[in-house]
Amino acid sequence: MLDFITQKKHDESRQGEAFAPEQAGVQQFSKRFYIESYGCQMNFADSEVVASILQEGGFGATRNYEEADLILINTCSIREKAEQTVRKRLTDLRKVKQNRPGALIGVLGCMAERLKSKFLEEEKLVDIVVGPDAYRTLPSLITEAEGGQKAVNVLLSREETYADIAPVRLGGDGVSAFVSIMRGCNNMCSFCVVPFTRGRERSRDAISIVNECQVLFDEGYKEVTLLGQNVDSYYWVDESTDTIVNFAQLLEKVALISPLLRVRFSTSHPKDITDEVLHTMAKYENICKYIHLPVQSGSTRVLQLMNRTYTREWYIAKVDRIRAIMPDCGISSDIIAGFCTETEEEHQETMSLMEYSKYDLSYMFFYSERPGTLAARRYEDDIPEDVKKRRLDEIVHLQNKLSHESNVRDLGKTFKVLIEGDSKKSGNDWKGRNSQNKMLVFPKGDHKVNKGDYVMVKVTDCTKATLLGEIV
Ligand code: SAH
Ligand code: SF4
Ligand code: F3S
């Protein structure tokens, strides 16, 4: 997402990256697919489901789109810029079609769902358009497209969770994996396109989630991130025993797989996160002490217009509760600058709530009106672009200060770190995260440790986004 300003999200550093598993075994397949993903972690997880469906259908993955028979882009609609990025990319991919007329181009994900067959009118070289709930029909859509027809399936489902599909892990580090626990969203935040592109909320079978995490652990993975737009509303009924599994119980089940398997999750909604979840986090060392708790705005009036269904005071009480139950918990946020009718005072309220919450990290955006949303229909997008950008700049500036202060508070502390691999800058350094989701970089030295191991690291220094330290 290009309008994302300072820090890169775990997944945002991967925007548009192409993935194929190391052991893709391209030779055994007669045809090859190439997939590129944009947007949130859910989209990256979905691409792994798509890869599994395609491999069943006889396609092997490739990292080189020039040799692909099928080029897929898994798209995001969250802000206008996200869609512009995809359109630009489609223009590039068009050239491939000129060189390889037989190659098919498919658009998956949220933009496919939002634009439906309009996509085919707007982008003539697209052959296949598939929404997030229709990936099982990809093989037959491909056959249709190979026959020269344009193929579209954008039906949303109330049941589909792809629970039985074992995702093919694409381009990961072999240490950390995403596991989708639910799909869709019922919240109807007025600015948000997700309920329209992803449909109704539904929770995935808990048994299949725990199985998937167990398999990952058996394969050597050390960290799973449970994904949903609003994980706290996870709710699944085990009909064989007539018992309910809520999110806290699901977390516990996954945490019990092994103390060596770290458990993370995203995203929590301030209105739904419960004390039961917080106590479960506190009880298990391997449930990471980190909560992404998007506030969006610090003004109760704006929150009401956003249909977030909590107030500034409610949010503050949640932050207090987290700090009371887990004093060492990291908290991050999403913030929207310049929502419809936001006043200067209300913008200041967002800043003061950021100060209060002492966010370690925030993902910050200016408001981008999305067609069809409640806000687009009800409110005028009346904050001039220069004002939106100035407010966003102030928010980013403040967050940089808060992130730095948070890092300075960690100087001298020792953390348990899961090694994810070589640091970006040097093969002589490891990188890895602590429980609070902060990235640490430290020299390998003579220590006999490897990717996927846990080490204790003492923080000696910090940069804006990273803690620097040494193994103790
Ligand atoms: N389910 C998550 C958010 C998913 S979208 C939650 O409820 O918190 C990720 C973030 O994108 C949102 O938290 C919001 O900050 C931002 N966002 C969503 N729609 C937007 C829009 N129309 N304009 C600007 N930012 C938006
Ligand atoms: Fe969008 Fe709100 Fe649902 Fe998050 S909770 S996906 S912001 S509607
Ligand atoms: Fe984007 Fe869809 Fe995710 S709109 S943020 S890819 S749910």
Extended beta strands in 391-428, E state: 414-422
Full set of structural domains in the chain with CATH: 10-153 (3.40.50.12160), 176-406 (3.80.30.20), 414-471 (2.40.50.140)
Protein residue with its CA nearest to atom 11 in ligand 1 = 78
What spacing in Å lies between the alpha carbon of 127 and ligand 1's midpoint?
A: 30
Phi-psi region of 412 (alpha: psi -120 to 50; beta: other; left: phi over 0): left
Other residues' Cβ atoms within 10 Å of the Cβ of residue 41 = 20
> For the chain, give me the number of helices (H) and strands (E)?
14, 22
What spacing in Å lies between the alpha carbon of 472 and ligand 3's midpoint?
A: 41
Q: How far apart are CA 160 and CA 155, in angstroms?
A: 11
The encoded tokens of residue 192 equal 């948000």
Helix (H) or strand (E) holding 210: helix 206-218
Protein residue with its CA nearest to atom 7 in ligand 3 = 194
Q: What are phi and psi of 272, to 5 degrees?
A: -110, -20
Phi-psi region of 290 (alpha: psi -120 to 50; beta: other; left: phi over 0): beta
Q: Name 13's Cβ contacts closer than 8 Å, sequence gap at least 6.
A: none
Looking from the CA of residue 77, the nearest atom of ligand 3 is 4
DSSP collapsed to 3 states, 191-207: CCCHHHHHCCCEECCHH
Ligand 3 residue neighbourhood (C-beta within 6 Å): 39-40, 42-43, 76-78, 109-110, 193-194, 197-198
Q: Helical H runs in 237-292? A: 247-255, 275-283
Helix (H) or strand (E) holding 81: helix 80-99
Other residues' Cβ atoms within 10 Å of the Cβ of residue 99 = 8
The encoded tokens of residue 368 equal 């981008």
Cβ-based burial of 92 (10 A; exposed 0-12, middle 13-18, buried ≥19):
exposed
Looking only at the bridges linking them, the beta strands covering 235-238 and 223-227 are: unpaired
Task: Among 78, 84, 226, 295, say which to mutate for ligand 1: greatest number of ligand atoms within 8 Å of CB.
Answer: 78
Ligand 2 residue neighbourhood (C-beta within 6 Å): 185, 187-189, 192, 194-195, 229-230, 269
What spacing in Å lies between the alpha carbon of 82 and ligand 3's midpoint?
A: 9
Q: How far apart are CA 318 and CA 308, in angstroms?
A: 14
Ligand nearest to the CA of 45: 3
Q: Name 319's Cβ contacts closer than 8 Å, sequence gap at least 6.
A: 293, 331, 356, 357
CB 303 within 8 A of CB 350: no
In order along its 472 residues, the chain shows pLDDT tens digits of 222 222 233 344 567 766 666 544 445 788 999 999 999 999 999 999 999 999 999 999 999 998 899 999 999 999 999 999 999 999 888 888 888 888 999 999 999 999 998 888 888 889 999 999 999 999 999 999 999 999 999 999 999 999 999 999 987 889 999 999 999 999 999 999 999 999 999 999 999 999 999 999 999 999 999 999 999 999 999 998 999 999 999 999 999 999 999 999 999 999 999 999 999 999 999 999 999 999 999 999 999 999 999 999 999 999 999 999 999 999 999 999 999 999 999 999 999 999 999 999 999 999 999 999 999 999 999 999 999 999 999 999 999 999 999 999 999 999 999 999 999 999 999 999 999 999 999 999 999 999 999 999 999 999 988 999 999 9
Q: How far apart are CA 351 and CA 331, in angstroms?
A: 16
What spacing in Å lies between the alpha carbon of 4 and ligand 2's midpoint?
A: 18
Sign of CA dihedral 414, 420, 425, 426: positive
Looking only at the bridges linking them, the beta strands covering 414-422 and 454-462 are: antiparallel
Say which DSSP state 180 is in.
Answer: E
